[in-house]
Structure 1
Amino acid sequence: MRFTSCILLLQALLLANTAQAQSNNSTNNGTNALTQCQQSIVQQLTNIFENSVKYFPWDYCENIGDGRGYTCGIVGFTTGTHDALQVISAYAAQLNSSTPNPFGPYMSRLIQLNQSTIDGSTSGLDGFCNVWSTTARSDQLFRTVQVDMVNQLYYNPAMAYAARNGLQFELSKGQMYDAAIQHGTALSEADSLPSMIDRTTASFKSGPNSVPGGLSEVDWLTAFMNVRIETLQNPAYKPSQAGWSQSIYRVKSYQYALSQGSVHFNDSLTALDNDGNTVSIGCDLTLWNYVGPPLPIQTPKKGILIGVLIGVGVLVLLIVTFCIIKRRLVAEWVSELSYRSKRAISRMSR
């Protein structure tokens, strides 16, 4: 048992080190990154998409039924796609030797779940969300690790892809980042950011550096967002389809900003929220340290609520109609039975 535990711990640490190496490679390849103000604006917009609030939901943890296990933390790390395990492994590696790892009981199961590309099972993770939420609200180190892993796994790679494709607009870089958060950056996955970039570039029959070569960045960004919508509506990984097809607002928000000519921004950006309403987002350098209230209970959107009410009304109407018809049929049957009984008695009395 001790030997097995050591092997599992080594695997977890290798995952964390791999993430660090990916981050270093992204940085060393040369990233035309956003300023901290611009990054805070882009991050707040992604936070709205993810959880309908601008601040980081450090303690969030829930199974949203997208085939990726538990979704948790500031950008929706998941237990079935490696990144939640990488966050936990990096956190465990920085704990003092005298401090127990609160996620210790889950490590072997998390590693098992992450042997394949995607595994949506939550079996063996009872109480995991409670541990995540408690640790996130009580331990600054765990919150810091979440930010570090976002940069390593998503922000730096997204900026590297933007630089590699010659993208100069802050809006383009923001779209690369939000796509990295939702779709991931795995080269082997058809729904990932690099795969969507490849499909976009192929649609113009040009090389990977097509933008500097003369192709309009507006045209390329427009095409990329169309490719992303197609991916959200019809992903290769089908368990994501139900949820992803309802999240096209993430792209429409950027399409709106593009239509307003907001390709460059420094201190603020006007985009669309999840309900299609305009929202103004300003620079907030306190974003990475602010611990907000727990997320509010999500209520159904107005359109969904109306649909549910209509559905219930139709069901009630059908039940009432059935009962009325049934009552009439029973009454007719009783009447007919009574008539036949009377005739039978009449004949017997003759």
Structure 2
Amino acid sequence: MHTPHIRSSRRTLLALIGASLVAGPVIATRSASAAPAGLDDPAKKEIAMKLVSSAENSSLDWKAQYKYIEDIGDGRGYTAGIIGFCSGTGDMLDLVELYTQRRPGNVLAGYLPALRRVDGTDSHEGLDPGYPDAWRRAAQDEAFRRAQNDERDRVYFNPAVGRGKADGIGTLGQFAYYDAIVMHGDGGDSTSFSSIRRRALDRARPPAQGGDEVTYLNAFLDARVWAMKQEEAHEDTSRVDTAQRVFLRNRNLNLDPPLDWQVYGDSYHIG
């Protein structure tokens, strides 16, 4: 069952920068001279996809989510696909436009005028009743699955990893950035990723500025929790408190398995 929650507006300006737990292995804090690990390592990226899917879709099987689509009642219209593209926030429109450039005449192409009209709203006008079925049919096409991957990377993953590397933080920190962009976007409001990062910078310096990585990441997660609590549907902060914070508390800055965490009361494991 998919776990509903609100996502803030997430326009493609992101591309300009998206109970007791069994803890993971205790890992020493990275020395200042060591190069930070990268979330873009294929094995680490796979872990990131599973971690996000546990929160977004209550499942580690993120590849099963290409076909997912529903209105979760968050004011963003339809939410769909591997990263929660929304008809009301523009990223779904960008995705379908990319897919149509690559595969003209696809089953979603005829819905582009309606997607443009409903952008910025929660309306289904022009999308119902056939759009969800068309999305699920499109998800059988490798070109559509590849387009979802590419838009996820362009809008969310690559900006998060790039900003994390510039700040000198390793794999766990880069994931914390990525998860924040997925939920909050970077639209410039007080709960956007950039605002969360600025709030953290007011309290601590990242390694690239001579700061301690663990201290900075604690400040970032504190700022993230504050941002989540500004919206009623984000008041459950377990994706931070009983997941990312657990890894940080155990100094697992490289996000090395085994990983054990909880989200919304459900337990997950990566061996």
Asked if TM exceeds 0.5, the reply is: yes
Residue 263 of structure 2 aligns to a residue whose secondary structure is coil
Residue 140 of structure 1: how far off its partner (Å)? 1.1
AA of the residue aligned to 1:272: W
Aligned length, in residue pairs: 238
**Distance of 1:261 and 1:44 partners within structure 2:** 20
The match for 1:49 is 55
String of CA shifts for 1:208-262, please: whole Å, max 9, x gaps: xx4333321111111111111111111xxxxxx232223x111121001111221
**Alignment of structure 1 residues 102-251 onto 2, 5 Å:** 102-114=107-119, 118-126=120-128, 127-136=130-139, 138-167=140-169, 169-186=170-187, 188-204=188-204, 210-234=206-230, 241-246=231-236, 248-251=237-240
Residue 202 of structure 2 aligns to a residue whose secondary structure is helix
String of CA shifts for 1:319-350, please: whole Å, max 9, x gaps: xxxxxxxxxxxxxxxxxxxxxxxxxxxxxxxx
String of CA shifts for 1:192-218, please: whole Å, max 9, x gaps: 2111101111234x6xxx433332111
CA separation of 1:33/1:90 partners in 2, compared to 1, >3 Å: closer, same or farther? same
CA separation of 1:130/1:277 partners in 2, compared to 1, >3 Å: closer, same or farther? closer
AA of the residue aligned to 1:112: R
Alignment partner of 1:40 is 2:41: no
**Distance of 2:123 and 2:74 partners within structure 1:** 11
Larger relative contact order, structure 1 or 2 (CA cutoff 8 Å, min sep 6): 2
Q: Share of identical aligned residues, percent? A: 28
Residue 32 of structure 1: how far off its partner (Å)? 5.2
**Distance of 1:200 and 1:119 partners within structure 2:** 31
CA separation of 1:225/1:271 partners in 2, compared to 1, >3 Å: closer, same or farther? farther
Higher-Rg member (1/2): 1
Counting helix residues as a fraction of each chain, which structure ranks higher? 1
**Distance of 1:224 and 1:65 partners within structure 2:** 29
For the 8 Å contact 1:185–1:194, the answer to whether it is kept is yes
Residue 160 of structure 1: how far off its partner (Å)? 1.5
**Distance of 1:163 and 1:184 partners within structure 2:** 19
For the 8 Å contact 1:254–1:271, the answer to whether it is kept is no
- TM-score under structure 2 normalisation? 0.80
Q: Which runs of 5+ in 1 are unaligned?
A: 1-17, 235-240, 283-350
Residue 199 of structure 1 aligns to a residue whose secondary structure is helix
AA of the residue aligned to 2:254: H
For the 8 Å contact 1:154–1:185, the answer to whether it is kept is no
For the 8 Å contact 1:45–1:281, the answer to whether it is kept is no
Give RMSD over aligned pairs: 2.3
String of CA shifts for 1:41-83, please: whole Å, max 9, x gaps: 1111101111111122111111111111110001110001111
**Distance of 2:209 and 2:203 partners within structure 1:** 15
For the 8 Å contact 2:167–2:209, the answer to whether it is kept is no
1:63 to 71, 81, 91: 71
